[in-house]
Structure 1
Amino acid sequence: MTTIVDVADYILNKYGTMTTMKLQKLTFYAQAQALAVTGHPLFEEDFEAWKGGPVSRALYAKHRGMFLIHPGELTGTSPQPVAKREEAIIGSACDSLSALTGNQLSRRTHSEKPWQEARGDALPNAASSEVISKESMRRFYADNPIV
């Protein structure tokens, strides 16, 4: 199965250098699009409801300490190509969202139910490692298309 690193590598190669915050949010929205459209995830890795928005620990481990990330810079990885069908799903979510900044994408996730539900009663600046459920993402984005 495709991994989050495979998807992140594809996004970096297609859309170019970006902040790690933006990369995290674009991979989140690619996953959300797959769940909404097909009912199945692009990858198994989860996102947590961090104060800055959804973050995958698996992806974070590959770019920790970086602010900007360039194509080919995901550390310690050998990404595999994504399938054509997956490219179409990623593109349908990211083609328009890639024009937004990481901060704009973060604010957007904060206004959406999957992140809010996972955060629960956590204070705005409180740390959280609560998982954003794939089912919550599927339900919300099926009813509220990403683009």
Structure 2
Amino acid sequence: MSKQIVFCPECRQDAKYSVKEKTESAELKGEVYEFTAQTAYCEQCGEEVYVAELEDANLKALYDVYRQKNEIISLEDIQAIPEKYNIGKRPLSLLLGWGEQTFSRYYDGDMPTKQYSEILKQIYADPAYYLSLLEKSKENLKSEKAYEKSKASTQRLLDIPVVEPQAKMDVVVDYLLSRCQDITPLSLQKALYYAQGFFYAFYRTYLFTEDCEAWVHGPAYPKIYRRYSNYCFDPIEGVDEVEASALSGEDQLLLDSIVKHVCCYSGKTLEAFTHTETPWVLARAGLPAEALSNRPVTKESIGEFFTLVKEKYRMLTPANIKDYTRDLFTQI
């Protein structure tokens, strides 16, 4: 029994109340059900007082009895499903082919039909069943990311090794290596830099999320440097298989132009190009020529610079990248 404060209409003032449990009955969907209810009483006059939280709890108690008697999934199990499978309420509704707000209503306390209850009970109890639904109906989801997150969480529940999706930069690297002949680590670094800049210039979004650094020999992506450093000045071995499905048509169009109009130059030539460009020059400001540095060349600075380049050269398509690289070549 607990003591709290509530307004008592009989006493006409705030008063402490006590809570007592008793068995009550109520009609729900044409049948009468008994449940344990909690009732509040004013400690001064002994009259029953209204407490909203208790009324909500009593309604839930009635619904819980109904669910048990009619074998309907419990509210607690419904509310555990999104966290268990790492999926939002709206995406789950879409996955199941229900109305967008259907699962949200059940999550908030509405009673599911017997048919929907059976589906939810099986989902809650059987991760393998949920995974099969996820694979079968993933097209219903409007987000590839939602699918990947939920799939990974479900695979962990089933002790299935999770294969993490390849990072976008890694896919871009594989694509460049599969299409470039005799590309060295130095050339690859500059190809990534130009791909990032021109992609933003044409499509106003970044090709990948990583920033590069202002190294002595131009912009460099440390992760990629470490991966291929053992090649030194030798060409990197090509890649036979590429996850092209991870690249959009726009991605491939831009990268094909980088291969044709950037990768045709040697790594040292591309290094000289970058030494004339604002992103690297500003990032190295005040440093001696041979000083080591991990100062970032942010993707924002790269995007802004190549947007200006696109405007200056009046580029209409990625094929026009050749006008810029040819111009730079005549100046070094």
Tell me whether the two structures share a fold, i.e. TM-score over 0.5. yes
2:212 to 33, 47, 64: 47
Against the structure 1 CA distance between its residues 2 and 39, is the aligned structure 2 distance closer, same or farther, given a 3 Å change threshold?
Answer: farther
> 1:30–1:94: 8 Å Cα contact kept in structure 2?
no
1:36 to 171, 176, 201: 201
Taking the TM superposition and a 5 Å limit, the aligned residue runs for 1:18-37 are 18-37=183-202
Aligned length: 143
> 2:187–2:270: 8 Å Cα contact kept in structure 1?
yes
SS of match in other structure, 1:64: helix
User: Which runs of 5 or more structure 2 residues have no equivalent in the other structure?
Assistant: 1-165, 311-320, 325-332
Aligned to 2:236: 69
Q: Percent identity?
A: 28
Bigger RCO (CA 8 Å, 6+ sep): 1
Q: Cα RMSD (Å) of the superposition?
A: 2.0
Corresponding position: 1:97 with 2:281 = no
> 1:20–1:69: 8 Å Cα contact kept in structure 2?
yes
The residue type equivalent to 1:80 in the other structure is E
Q: TM-score, normalised by structure 2?
A: 0.41
Taking the TM superposition and a 5 Å limit, the aligned residue runs for 1:73-92 are 80-81=243-244, 82-92=247-257
Aligned to 1:10: 175
The residue type equivalent to 2:178 in the other structure is N
> 1:13–1:71: 8 Å Cα contact kept in structure 2?
yes
The residue type equivalent to 1:39 in the other structure is R
Q: TM-score, normalised by structure 1?
A: 0.88
Q: Which has the higher strand share?
A: 2
Q: CA deviation at 1:2?
A: 5.1
User: Which runs of 5 or more structure 1 residues have no equivalent in the other structure?
Assistant: none
Q: CA deviation at 1:61?
A: 2.2
Deviation per residue, 1:8-65 (Å, 9 max, x gap): 1101111123111001111110111111112211111111010000110121121122
Aligned to 1:128: 293
